[in-house]
Amino acid sequence: NAGVTQTPKFQVLKTGQSMTLQCAQDMNHNSMYWYRQDPGMGLRLIYYSASEGTTDKGEVPNGYNVSRLNKREFSLRLESAAPSQTSVYFCASTPNTDTQYFGPGTRLTVL
Amino acid sequence: AQSVTQLGSHVSVSEGALVLLRCNYSSSVPPYLFWYVQYPNQGLQLLLKYTSAATLVKGINGFEAEFKKSETSFHLTKPSAHMSDAAEYFCAVRASGGSYIPTFGRGTSLIVHP
């Protein structure tokens, strides 16, 4: 049981490049989330998915898109990366019991 | 709407001293409250949660928190700090009956001196 996995762990992009952050969970959880963490800002919700086939915007969705490919996988795409998107990105899931399970994070730098 | 305020971005204690991390919340409906811990270069993990049962909640690693409705607070305590407690701590709130989307505070970094 791997829990929540994220790939890649680290990434450096140039402004304007695109990339997809991958997230998968093997706990059969319904809800999945993408957060970004910036110093002094806590965690801010980018997008979430309450169930397979549904996605909704969070607090800071601009510049991002998501896909809930199936119950296990929830990807985050940056179409045209900007320096303001330099951050640590966390994926999380929950079986709707109020405990969120977090992945180890992806550290993204946009030059 | 709900919000969380964590007082103090950094708290410094000596090993063996009391740990007190403060969290105040705002919620228009009865809240569910959480404390998460983040060790360096890791994701967050749940320390404890309050979901309308006992107001004093015990968590992992000797931490506990007390829900005080009159003070709208959910402070985290530990009687004796250990070096391994050094980490970032996040308080979170979500409205009972709502979607499973908590609102996180900005975090408090706990520094433990030998």
Q: Using an 8 Å CB-CB cutoff, list chain A residues near B44.
A: 43, 90, 92, 100, 102
What residues of A are in contact with residue B49 (Cβ under 8 Å)? Answer: 98-99
Distance CA A32, CA A68 (A): 9
Of the CA atoms within 13 Å of residue B97, those in its CB half-sphere come to: 5
Interface with chain A: mutation pick from B51, B101, B103, B106, highest number of A CBs within 10 Å: B101
Q: What angle do CA A45, A3, B21 make, to 5 degrees?
A: 55
- For A41-63, the pLDDT digits (tens) are 889 999 999 988 899 999 999 99
List, in order, residues 6 or more apart from B84 with CB less than 8 Å away: none
For residue B98, pLDDT over 80 is answered with no
Summarised one tens digit per residue, pLDDT across range A34-44 is: 999 998 888 99
> Which of B45, B49, B90 lies closest to A43 in CB terms?
B90
Contact B100 A94 (CB under 8 A): yes
My answer on whether omega of the bond before A39 falls inside 30° of 0, hence cis, is no
Residue with tokens 């994701």: B43
% chain A with pLDDT above 70: 100
> Is the Cβ pair B32, A45 closer than 8 Å?
no
Mean pLDDT, chain B, integer: 92
Please state the rounded mean pLDDT for residues B18-26. 96
Quote the CA–CA distance of A90 and B21 in Å, as a whole number.
24
Amino acid identity for residue B6 in this structure:
Q
